[in-house]
Amino acid sequence: MKFIADTRVHLSADEAQALAVQSLEKIGYDAEEARIIADHVVDAALCGYEYSGLPKILNVAEHRQLKHARRRMSAIRETPNSVLFDGGNNNGMVAMYRATQVAIEKAQANGMAVVGVNNSWVSGRSAHYVEMAARAGLVAMHTVSSRIHVSAPDSSGPATGTNPIAFAFPTENDPFIVDLGAAAFMGTDLMFQVRRKAVLPENVAIDKDGNLTRDPAQVHAILPFGGYKGFALALAMQAMGVLAGSGLGDDKSYGYLIIAIKPDLMVPLDEFKRDMSAMLAQVKATPRQPGVDEIRLPGERSLRERARLKREGIEIDRSIYDTLLALPQGKLPAF
């Protein structure tokens, strides 16, 4: 670890992992839960998403649900191809990790699986889960219905969540991953900018009077990505959340769904990987405009950043680092 100009801290990947685990255990998570969450946030940081990295631990530590009663994650209903889980008010990065493991097992055994989770919160980066499935040889889709803080077009208040959707496909090399939110700015990034007292990009949020604002502390609602098209996508994700049992939760908002498909249902896995790789290569080989070095695919930047930052380490704000070290000792409600 070293300080950079008093405002930034450089950490190796191992130092970031150790700090994450230490912070999570300090607020009351057991060793297994701390490892699952730490693996998630450190990987997000390594993929170049600083706001979804170590600062997310502070979002967890400060979340209103953290001190409320929690239960062990349990199946509400289950078939050979599906499970609907009550997340038991557990952190979403833990609940979705376990749900994804179940989806992988069921899809590998039965061809496909759909797994839903409700009564959970802060699930993190959606790409994390679909990549798990793709590296197990499966095609995967993950949808999120999250806390309501994104406006509908022409409205002055929140109507949907940021509601990301992610896909992953196995190839002959790294999985092909698509991960996008239905909002002009992600909620976790907004919380990060509030901590940093930073200025938001233009045209991503409105204040309580419905006026555009760049002050993260004044945001009443985030705008949808792509106007009506992003709003339509957000509503579709909200509907998928209902399918995942969001209505069974206390705030009726959070619903996570992961679908995993064994390519062999359609095409033998080796052929699928070959043809996926060929299709992506064809896209990358399309003619480039003047001054463009390459046609970049979704997910490529993250994979490259992960490889680089594993070697070089990450940077975080000094204020985030100091706050993580200063987290008070806590104890989560027992199961």
Query: Is there a domain that residue 47 lies in?
Result: yes
- In total, how many domains does the chain have? 1
Query: Is there a domain that residue 262 lies in?
Result: yes
Greater confidence (5 vs 134) lies with 134
Structure tokens at 150: 């994104």
Cα(325)–Cα(146) distance, integer angstroms: 29
CATH of the domain at 126: 3.30.1370.60
Least reliable range by pLDDT among 77-81, 134-138, 191-195:
191-195
Q: What is the pLDDT of residue 43?
A: 98
Tell whether the model's pLDDT for residue 335 goes beyond 90.
no
Cα(182)–Cα(324) distance, integer angstroms: 30
Render pLDDT for 208-225 as a digit per residue (tens, 0 to 9).
999 999 999 999 999 999
Mean pLDDT throughout 116-138?
97
Tell whether the model's pLDDT for residue 5 goes beyond 80.
no
Q: What is the pLDDT of residue 249?
A: 85
Q: What is the pLDDT of residue 2?
A: 83
Query: Is there a domain that residue 292 lies in?
Result: no
Average per-residue pLDDT in the chain? 96
Q: What is the pLDDT of residue 1?
A: 78
Q: What is the pLDDT of residue 290?
A: 96
Render pLDDT for 241-292 as a digit per residue (tens, 0 to 9).
999 999 998 888 999 999 999 999 999 999 999 999 999 999 999 999 999 9
Query: Is there a domain that residue 331 lies in?
Result: no
Tell whether the model's pLDDT for residue 102 goes beyond 90.
yes
Query: Is there a domain that residue 283 lies in?
Result: no
Query: Is there a domain that residue 284 lies in?
Result: no
What burial letters (b/e) apply to 157-178, b meaning 16+ CB within 10 Å?
Answer: ebbbbbbbbbbbbbbeebbbbb
Q: What is the pLDDT of residue 331?
A: 85
Q: What is the pLDDT of residue 330?
A: 87
Q: What is the pLDDT of residue 106?
A: 98
Q: Residue 187 gets which letter from DSSP? A: H
Query: Is there a domain that residue 126 lies in?
Result: yes
Render pLDDT for 103-118 as a digit per residue (tens, 0 to 9).
999 999 999 999 999 9
Q: How many residues does the chain have?
A: 335
Mean pLDDT throughout 223-231?
94
Tell whether the model's pLDDT for residue 3 goes beyond 90.
no
The percent of residues above 90 in pLDDT, for the chain, comes to: 94
Query: Is there a domain that residue 10 lies in?
Result: yes
Helical H runs in 175-297?
187-196, 228-243, 269-284
The percent of residues above 70 in pLDDT, for the chain, comes to: 100
Tell whether the model's pLDDT for residue 88 goes beyond 80.
yes
Mean pLDDT throughout 139-166?
95
Domain holding 100, by residue range, is: 2-269+305-325
Q: What is the pLDDT of residue 234?
A: 96
Give residues with Cβ within 8 angstroms of 295, minimum separation 6.
283, 284, 285, 286, 288
Mean pLDDT throughout 293-312?
97
Strand partners, 199: none
Tell whether the model's pLDDT for residue 6 goes beyond 90.
no
Render pLDDT for 155-205 as a digit per residue (tens, 0 to 9).
999 999 999 999 999 999 999 999 999 999 999 999 999 999 899 999 999
- Residue 186 is which amino acid? M
For residue 217, how many other CB atoms are within 10 A of its CB? 10
